Amino acid sequence: MTITRADVGFRSERGPILVALMLTTGLVAIDSTIVATAVPSIVNDVGGFSSFPWLFSAYMLAQAVSVPVYAKLADMLGRKPIVLIGIALFLVGSVLCGLAGSMGALIAFRVIQGLGAGAVQPMAITIAGDIYTVAERARVQGYLASVWAVSSVVGPTLGGVFASLGIWRGIFLVNIPLCVLAGWMLARTFHETVERARHRIDFLGSGLLTLSMTLVILGALEGGQAWAWISPLGIGCFVLGPALFGAFLIAERRAAEPVLPLWVVSRRLLLTTTLASFGVGAMILGLTSYVPTFLESALSVSPVVAGLALAALTLGWPISAAQSGRLYLWIGFRTTALIGIAVAVAGTAVLAATAHTPNVVAVAASCFTIGLGLGLTASPTLIAAQSSVEWNERGVVTGTNLFSRSIGSALGVAVFGAIANGIYASSPAGEAKGETIVPASAAVFLTVVVVAVLVGFAVFAMPRDGRRVSDAAETASRSTRPGA
């Protein structure tokens, strides 16, 4: 079976490919949750308590900045080599993390893992967009999202088991068989034929984009923590980062094959869906960062209970994402996404309104509602963007959407952290205490409501005739199938 950039109509081997994509997605999904529960054991073994937040920051940074580069290379060279390179990097990084003898080495090896994850996640979604029709993609996105839902429960549990047994290195070494199996399945089942052509890789643009976004994300992640916002490092990140991004925009206008073509933000549909993804990323991080701490401090519940309440968010998402296809084929992408963001706004509003009288059930129900809303928002907007372009642009479009979500997450953490820290500073001790965590969390949840409303404006600005977009995309898909 051969998949060309025109061949999206086959059926026989899509099932095994989808299983391979879900397994591949699971590598990133589990890793994003399994490490946190083992941090105390890691620190006890290799030291470096003051540096352990970089285990997460370095990984997130490497993943985020590499996505646009991989996405462009996938449109030039094909999806298969890029996703296999990502799996290989993730495998090497995991082995090295499992053998690390110091916190500094562990952080450096997490960067390698992050570079692998930067290829794995967007390529899984892009390949799904290549081999499934517009009508089928929502269900498939629901399957991929369900991997994250399962991982939100399995990851922390597995990490806790390894930590309790005193074998924290197992949280990285467990990736070895998963990487081997995922790589073998994709190599065996997924084949593509890509037109061979001479390409001019945009090294200048790639370098400028990577440096600029590294500084911006680094400033957002570490500002107010590793260094003060008003400090040479803090100011430097937010001055030099945007300046380099401006240089990147100039370079892209002159590049023969820009790594991030400016048409991505000049087309109304792509611009609005990218902005929506940015806001969704901020909302997710705002909730995942503060809901557990809020419940543990306000109600003295165990971390397990707090985690399960938050897991309701990732349970609602795949349920609605899988069903969104029926809606957007009936009423269009835009209307479906508007319904979704309205549900998400309602969920965030209830969460913010009940924050001063906390209840585990209310928080879990709110998170589940928000998850339902985001599933009806994120999937239709991503699929609308994918469906509006051809094969040789789909990688860039998918990568830009996910890159925007990563940037939104990083900047969201910075904004929410600044709001919470401002309230913490008002306490007599000037730090987070039980009596200040509740109002700080309430303020963060209220800000999430504002972000949800802004996402609603972005969705509202999408092309009005969503059904026309859907029909046109499906017609284009059919017209490029063999024998069409």
| Residue that the structure tokens 């390949």 belong to | 127
Name the percent of the chain lying above pLDDT 90. 31
Question: Would you list the domain boundaries of the chain?
Answer: 9-191, 202-256, 261-475
DSSP letters, 86-145, are HHHHHHHHHHHHHH--SHHHHHHHHHHHHHHHHHHHHHHHHHHHHHS-HHHHHHHHHHHH
Residues 323-332 pLDDT 10s = 888 888 889 9
Residue 111 has pLDDT above 80, yes or no: yes
Which pLDDT score, from 0 to 100, does residue 465 have?
57
Q: Given this model, what pLDDT does residue 7 score?
A: 44
Asked if pLDDT for residue 372 goes beyond 90, the answer is: yes
Q: State which H helix or E strand residue 206 sits in.
A: helix 203-222
Please tell me whether residue 3 adopts helix, strand or coil conformation. Answer: strand
Give the Cα separation of 477 and 256 in Å (integer): 27
**Among the listed residues 199, 211, 308, 328, the one whose alpha carbon sits nearest the alpha carbon of residue 255:** 199
Q: Do 37 and 160 touch, CB atoms closer than 8 A?
A: yes
Predicted local confidence at residue 455, as pLDDT: 97
What sign does the dihedral 279-281-285-291 (CA atoms) show?
positive
First-to-last alpha carbon distance for the chain, in angstroms, is: 18
Q: Which of 43-57, 282-296, 423-437 has the lowest mean pLDDT?
A: 423-437
Do 349 and 449 contact (CB within 8 A), yes or no?
yes
- pLDDT surpassing 90 at residue 462: yes
Residue 27 has what pLDDT?
86
Token digits for 56? 């997460």
Q: Which residues contact 253 (CB under 8 A, 6 or more apart)?
A: 262
Q: For residue 403, give Cα distances in angstroms to 155, 211, 253, 440.
A: 23, 15, 20, 28
* pLDDT, position 310: 78
List the one residue out of 260, 265, 274 whose CA is nearest residue 378. Answer: 274
pLDDT at 417: 79
Q: Rounded to 10 degrees, what is the CA torsion of 303, 304, 306, 309?
A: 170
Query: CATH number for the 9-191 domain, one of 1.10.10.350, 1.20.1250.20, 3.30.300.30, 3.30.9.80?
Result: 1.20.1250.20
Q: What are phi and psi of 433, to 5 degrees?
A: -125, 170
- pLDDT, tens digit, for every residue of 153-194? 787 778 778 877 888 898 899 899 999 999 999 998 888 877
Residue 221: predicted pLDDT: 73
- C-beta of residue 34 within 8 angstroms of C-beta of residue 156: yes
More confident residue, 389 or 310: 389
Q: What is the pLDDT of residue 58?
A: 83
Please give the angle made by the CA atoms of 75, 79 and 85, to the nearest 5 degrees.
Answer: 115
Which of 209-218, 340-349, 450-459 shows the lowest per-residue confidence on average (mean pLDDT)?
209-218
Give the mean pLDDT of 138-147: 83
Residue with tokens 């109600």: 299
Q: Cβ distance 456 to 450 under 8 Å?
A: no
pLDDT tens-digit readout, 380-416: 999 999 888 888 888 889 988 988 998 888 788 778 8
What b/e readout covers 98-109, taking b as 16+ CB neighbours within 10 angstroms?
A: bebeebeebbbb
Instruction: Give the pLDDT score at 468.
Output: 45
pLDDT digits (tens, 9 = 90+) for 463-473: 875 444 444 44
Out of 4-8, 24-28, 42-46, 214-218, pick the least confident. 4-8
For 416, the 3-state DSSP assignment is helix
Q: According to the model, what pLDDT value does residue 434 have?
A: 58
pTM above 0.85, yes or no: no
- State the pLDDT at residue 117: 92
CA-only gyration radius of the chain, Å: 22
pLDDT of residue 344: 96
Cβ neighbours around 77 below 10 Å, total: 16
Strand partners, 223: 227
* Overall fold of domain 261-475: Growth Hormone; Chain: A; (1.20.1250)
Q: Tell me the per-residue pLDDT of 227-286, one tens digit each, with 9 for 90 and over.
A: 777 888 888 888 999 999 999 999 988 888 888 888 888 899 999 999 999 999 999 888
Query: How many angstroms separate the CA atoms of 470 and 327, rounded?
Result: 11
Dump pLDDT digits (tens) for 9-38: 344 478 888 999 999 888 888 887 788 767
Distance between CA 136 and CA 129 in Å, rounded? 9
More confident residue, 287 or 199: 287
Alpha-carbon gap, residue 105 to 96, rounded angstroms = 9
Burial readout 397-435 (b: 16 or more C-beta within 10 A, e: otherwise): bbbbbbbbbbbbbbbbbbbbbebbbebbeebeeeebeee
State the chain's mean pLDDT as an integer: 83
With bands split at pLDDT 50, 70 and 90, how would you rate the model's confidence at 477?
Answer: very low
Length of the chain counted residue by residue:
484
Provide the pLDDT for residue 474.
46
